[in-house]
Amino acid sequence: MSSPAKYIFVTGGVASSLGKGIISASLAKLLQARGYSVTIQKFDPYINVDPGTLNPYEHGECYVTEDGAETDLDLGHYERFLNIPTSQANNVTTGAIYQTVINKERRGDYLGKTVQIIPHITDEIKRRIKLLGDTGRYEFVITEIGGTVGDIESLPYIEAIRQLRLELGSIDCLVIHLTLIPYLTAAGELKTKPTQHSVKMFLEQGVQPDILVCRTEHELGNDLKRKIGLFCNVNEESVIESRDASSIYDVPLLMDKEKLDQVVLKKLGMPFNNEPDLESWNKFLKGLKSPSHSVVIGIVGKYIELKDAYKSIAESFIHAGVENDCSVQLRWIHSEEVNENSIEASFEGLSGILVAPGFGERGIEGKILAIKFARENNIPFLGICLGMQCAVIEFARNVLGLKDAHSTEMLANTGSPVIHLQESQKKVTNKGGTMRLGAYPCEIQEGTLARKVYGKKAISERHRHRYEFNNAFLDEFRENGMIPSGINPDKGLVEIVEISTHPWFIGVQFHPEYKSTVDNPHPLFVGFVGAALNHSEVHALSTNSQSIG
Ligand code: GLN
Ligand 1 centroid–CA 436 distance in Å is 10
The pLDDT score that the predictor gives to residue 53 is 86
Query: In ligand 1, which atom is closest to the CA atom of 358?
Result: 8
Asked if 356 and 310 touch (Cβ cutoff 8 Å), the reply is: yes
Q: Tell me which residues of the chain have a pLDDT lower than 70.
A: 1-3, 541, 543-549
Catalytic residue among 77, 463, 465, 511: 511
Closest residue CA from atom 5 of ligand 1 = 386
pLDDT value of position 201:
95
- DSSP codes joined into one string, 382-433: EEETHHHHHHHHHHHHHTS--TTEEETTT-TT-SEEEEEE-GGGTT----TT
Q: How many residues does the chain have?
A: 549
The rounded Å distance from CA 122 to ligand 1 centre is: 36
The best mutation among 464, 508, 513 to test binding of ligand 1, ranked by most ligand atoms within 8 Å of the C-beta, falls on 464
* Rounded Cα–Cα distance for residues 313 and 299 (Å): 9
Model pLDDT, residue 307? 84
- Catalytic residue of the set 173, 214, 385, 390: 385
SS3 breakdown of the chain: % helix, strand, coil, rounded to 5?
45, 20, 35
Which of 141, 178, 176, 174 is CA-nearest to residue 32? 141
Q: How far apart are the CA of 67 and the centre of ligand 1, in A? A: 18
Q: How far is CA 430 from CA 11, 53, 293, 426, in A?
A: 33, 10, 48, 11
**Which residue puts its alpha carbon closest to atom 3 of ligand 1?**
465
| The amino acid at 74 | D
CA angle centred on 300, ends 295 and 304, rounded to 5°? 100
Q: Which of 61, 355, 386, 393 to mutate to test the pocket of ligand 1 (most atoms within 8 A of CB)?
A: 386
pLDDT of res. 285: 97
CB atoms within 10 A of CB 166: 11
Which helix or strand (DSSP H or E) is residue 63 part of?
strand 63-64
Report pLDDT digits (tens) over 502-549.
999 999 999 999 999 999 999 999 999 999 999 998 877 676 555 544
Ligand 1 nearest-atom number relative to CA 468: 10
Q: 439 — phi, psi (to 5°)?
A: -80, 135
Among 176, 177, 258, CA closest to 15: 177
Catalytic residue status for 513: yes
Helix (H) or strand (E) holding 168: helix 155-168
pLDDT reported for residue 545: 57
For ligand 1, residues with CB inside 6 Å are 357-359, 385-386, 409, 464-467
Atom of ligand 1 nearest to the CA of 464: 9
Given 61, 513, 522, 535, the catalytic residue: 513
